[in-house]
């Protein structure tokens, strides 16, 4: 694969720039008038997800050149390298293994990863069997009581995916133990959760790929103290009330965790892609094995689609290409993601990490500064509440913000009237963003320019399979976007400096070289 890839040097990019100039004068609404079949042609359904991308400022010519860009970027070769477990995360010298977590043994073998099939299946079986043991009460606390509450301690990718799925599918519905998430080490979040719990019936699940993340370590320490006080345990982490999920098994052992209660996953699984691994242990325990496996099956269906569908009928390719189109040629630094329905309220937060930690990069794979825009800022909220807050800017502001509107057609929790209300609002917003309202009878402050693009994604129902497919869709969207932009989507070096400085500040390594502002702020640190 050609490594230094400069998308702007491709003929496709130059043609896209030309299209963008020509389309500056066109309106999306006119594109519909010119092509009565547009809505039908620019929509497709895959794995329980219907995508209507017809309300975008694109023509067949634009799409053809976006796909030409994908070809110039050697998307096909990169995609094969991803699924074959080649070390495409070059700055960390690692393969990218999240698709392997949900692949069948036959898929892995076909991709030359037969050697991985056994270890991956063993890791999966270990945490799924343990999750069932928690559910059925075979794995119990020291008093012999089964667990009623699971406290999942983790941050970033070690929290957001499982929390999204739990709130979408489990919360208030699942029959198993209750699941609580604590990420922040602010000293308030964990005590607020523990206050309502019985230590004898609580299992603490410490989730950290590196097992060095201070927020998670601080919370684990607090939880250990709470268990020690409540149950008189001398070594809480060694007790059946504590379990670790990590890719650094030796660190967990060194902290006293019992080896049989440490669930591992491979280094090659990035935190923000780790939901499918043992990071989903507490989720599987609370939700049940079958729903968790259905989640994996949904993601697998999206993997297959991504590998097999031609570019023009390929959901991740379409969404990523549209993202690059607006970002590069229309200055769309921000994209909004708005799920309609409270059960999907964590999706924007999950996508913020997934997209911004992956594609918020300033250098190409070979380390040269990029001179084209990379990852977009992801803005998000839940519909319809978001309509009553930031949508004003989307409709009349001076920023150009493309929107993904995500709805659920069947939803068991709500009555028909509410479901219709939500979906009608979603559809109305897509229409309003596109058509605007330029009635000359209106005063200027009431007119809406319109011509603002949106994708509508409708899930047939909020089920494990469709949710798995939706999350995998956005994972592959990130990957394709990274390939088109010539960057490595799988490292995150930008988060390191701040962590290091915080460590130094806390260790009292005051440095004369620090600026006066930092020194003055430091003087305000509690405890001197
Ligand atoms: O600081 C960023 C990050 O490294 C994320 O990439 C990761 O998901 C999160 O921290 C948590 O890391 P860990 O799972 O190692 O505790």
pLDDT of residue 413: 67
Exposed e or buried b per residue across 164-201, where buried means at least 16 C-beta atoms within 10 angstroms of its C-beta:
bbbbbbbbeebebbbbbbbbebeeebbeebbeebebbb
pLDDT, tens digit, for every residue of 377-416? 999 999 999 999 999 999 999 999 999 999 999 876 678 8
**Pick the catalytic residue: 159, 355, 357, 481?**
357
Q: Name the closest-CA residue to atom 2, ligand 1.
A: 495
Ligand 1 neighbours, Cβ below 6 Å, are 155-158, 208-210, 213, 216, 271-272, 357, 492, 495
Pocket-testing residue among 91, 96, 154, 156, ligand 1, by greatest number of atoms within 8 A of Cβ: 156
Measured CA angle at 242 (ends 144, 262), to 5 deg? 120
Q: Is the pLDDT of residue 52 over 90?
A: yes
CATH code linked to domain 7-97+310-490: 3.40.50.10490
Indicate the CATH number of 113-287 among 3.40.50.10490, 3.60.60.10, 2.60.40.10, 3.40.50.300: 3.40.50.10490
In whole angstroms, how far apart are CA 54 and each of 39, 324, 431, 452? 5, 17, 11, 12
Question: Which are the contacts of 487, defined by CB distance < 8 A and separation ≥ 6?
Answer: 359, 361, 363, 364, 365, 370, 374
Q: Residue 193 corresponds to which tokens in the numbers above? A: 């959760």
Residue 294: which of 273, 278, 276 has the closest Cα?
276
Whole-number Å distance, alpha carbon 493 to ligand 1 midpoint, is 11
Task: Over range 474-482, report the average pLDDT.
Answer: 98
Instruction: Output the 3-class SS for 346-374.
Output: CHHHHHHHHHHHHHCCCECCCCCECCCCC
| Residue 82: pLDDT over 70 | yes
Q: Which of 388, 410, 509, 510 is catalytic?
A: 388
SS3 129: helix
Torsion on CA atoms 338, 340, 346, 348, rounded to nearest 10: -10
| Residue 512 clears pLDDT 90, i.e. is over it | no
The H or E element spanning position 316 is helix 315-329
Q: Tens digit of pLDDT for each residue in 119-136?
A: 999 999 999 999 999 999
Contact 153, 204 (CB under 8 A): yes
Which letter does DSSP use for residue 527 in this model? T
Query: pLDDT tens-digit profile of 138-197?
Result: 999 999 999 999 999 999 999 999 999 999 999 988 888 999 999 999 989 999 999 999
C-alpha dist (Å) from residue 5 to 1, 84, 205, 274 = 10, 21, 42, 28
Where does 197-311 show beta strands of DSSP type E?
202-207, 242-246, 262-264
pLDDT of res. 172: 86
CA of 270 to the centre of ligand 1 (A): 9
Does 278 score more than 90 pLDDT? yes
Q: Do domains 7-97+310-490 and 113-287 have the same CATH topology?
A: yes
Confidence class for position 508, pLDDT limits 50, 70, 90: confident
Told to judge if 293 belongs to the known catalytic residues of this protein, a careful annotator would answer no
Report the C-alpha dihedral over residues 499, 501, 506, 508, rounded to 10 degrees.
160
Domain boundaries, the chain: 7-97+310-490, 113-287, 492-528
Mean pLDDT of 334-358: 97
Task: Look at residue 129 in the predicted model and tell me its pLDDT.
Answer: 98
213 CA from centroid of ligand 1 (Å): 7
Here the tokens at position 228 are 């020690």
Residue % of the chain over a pLDDT of 90? 91
For residue 41, what pLDDT band results from cuts at 50, 70 and 90?
very high
Cis peptide before 384 (omega within 30 of 0): yes
Residues 6+ apart with CB under 8 A from 22: none
Say if pTM beats, i.e. exceeds, 0.95: yes
The CB density around residue 148, as the number of other CB atoms within 10 Å, is: 16
Give yes or no for residue 19 having a pLDDT over 70. Answer: yes
Calculate how far, in angstroms, residue 151's C-alpha sits from the geometric centre of ligand 1. 18
The one catalytic residue in 71, 250, 410, 499 is: 499
> Can 388 be counted among the known catalytic residues?
yes
Band (pLDDT 50/70/90 cuts) for residue 528 is: low
State the average pLDDT over residues 238-258.
Answer: 97
Is residue 3 very low, low, confident or very high in pLDDT (cuts 50, 70, 90)?
A: low
> CA torsion sign, 31 to 34 to 36 to 37?
negative
What confidence category does residue 230 fall into, taking pLDDT thresholds of 50, 70 and 90? very high
């Amino acid at each position: 694969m050609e490594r230094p890839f400069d998308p702007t040097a491709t003929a496709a990019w130059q043609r896209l720039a030309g299209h963008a100039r020509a389309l500056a004068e066109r309106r999306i609404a006119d594109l519909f008038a010119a092509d009565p079949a547009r809505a039908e042609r620019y929509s497709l359904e895959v794995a329980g997800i219907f995508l209507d991308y017809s309300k975008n400022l694109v023509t067949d010519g634009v799409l053809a050149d976006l796909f030409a860009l994908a070809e110039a970027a050697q998307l096909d070769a990169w995609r094969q390298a991803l699924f074959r477990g080649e070390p495409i995360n070059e700055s960390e010298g690692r393969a990218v293994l999240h698709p392997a977590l949900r692949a069948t043994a036959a898929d892995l073998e076909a991709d030359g990863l037969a050697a991985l099939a056994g270890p991956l299946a063993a890791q999966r079986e270990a945490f799924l069997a343990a999750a069932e043991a928690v559910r059925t009460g075979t794995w119990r606390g020291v008093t012999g009581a089964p667990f009623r509450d699971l406290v999942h301690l983790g941050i970033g990718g070690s929290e957001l995916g499982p929390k999204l799925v739990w709130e979408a599918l489990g919360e208030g519905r699942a029959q198993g133990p209750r699941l609580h998430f604590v990420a922040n080490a602010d000293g308030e979040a964990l005590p607020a959760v523990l206050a309502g719990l019985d230590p004898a019936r609580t299992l603490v699940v410490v989730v950290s790929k590196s097992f060095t993340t201070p927020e998670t370590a601080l919370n684990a320490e607090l939880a250990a103290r709470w268990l020690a006080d409540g149950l008189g345990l001398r070594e809480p982490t060694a007790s059946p009330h504590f379990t670790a999920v990590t890719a650094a098994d030796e660190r967990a052992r060194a902290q006293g965790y019992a080896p049989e209660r440490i669930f591992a996953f491979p280094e090659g699984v990035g935190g923000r892609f780790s939901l499918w691994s043992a990071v989903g242990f507490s989720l599987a325990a609370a939700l049940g094995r079958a729903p968790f496996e259905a989640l994996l099956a949904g993601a697998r269906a999206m993997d297959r689609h991504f590998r097999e569908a031609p570019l023009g009928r390929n959901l991740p390719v379409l969404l990523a290409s549209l993202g690059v189109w607006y970002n590069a040629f229309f200055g769309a630094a921000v994209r909004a993601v708005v799920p309609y329905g409270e059960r999907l309220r964590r999706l924007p937060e999950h996508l913020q990490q997934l997209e911004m930690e992956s594609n918020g990069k300033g250098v190409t794979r070979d380390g040269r500064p990029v001179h084209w825009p990379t990852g977009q800022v992801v803005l998000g909220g839940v519909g319809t509440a978001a309509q009553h807050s930031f949508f004003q800017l989307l409709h009349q502001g001076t920023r150009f913000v493309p929107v993904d509107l995500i709805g659920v057609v069947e939803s068991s929790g709500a009555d028909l009237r509410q479901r219709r209300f939500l979906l009608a609002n979603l559809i109305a917003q897509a229409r309003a963003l596109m058509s605007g309202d330029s009635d000359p009878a209106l005063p200027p402050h009431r007119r809406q320019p319109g011509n603002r693009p949106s994708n509508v994604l409708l899930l047939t129902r909020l089920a494990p399979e469709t949710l798995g497919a939706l999350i995998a869709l956005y994972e592959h969207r990130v990957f394709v976007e990274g390939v088109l932009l010539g960057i490595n989507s799988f490292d995150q070096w930008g988060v390191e400096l701040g962590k290091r400085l915080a460590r130094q500040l806390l260790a009292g390594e005051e440095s004369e070289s620090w600026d006066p502002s930092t020194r003055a702020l430091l003087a305000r640190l509690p405890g001197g």
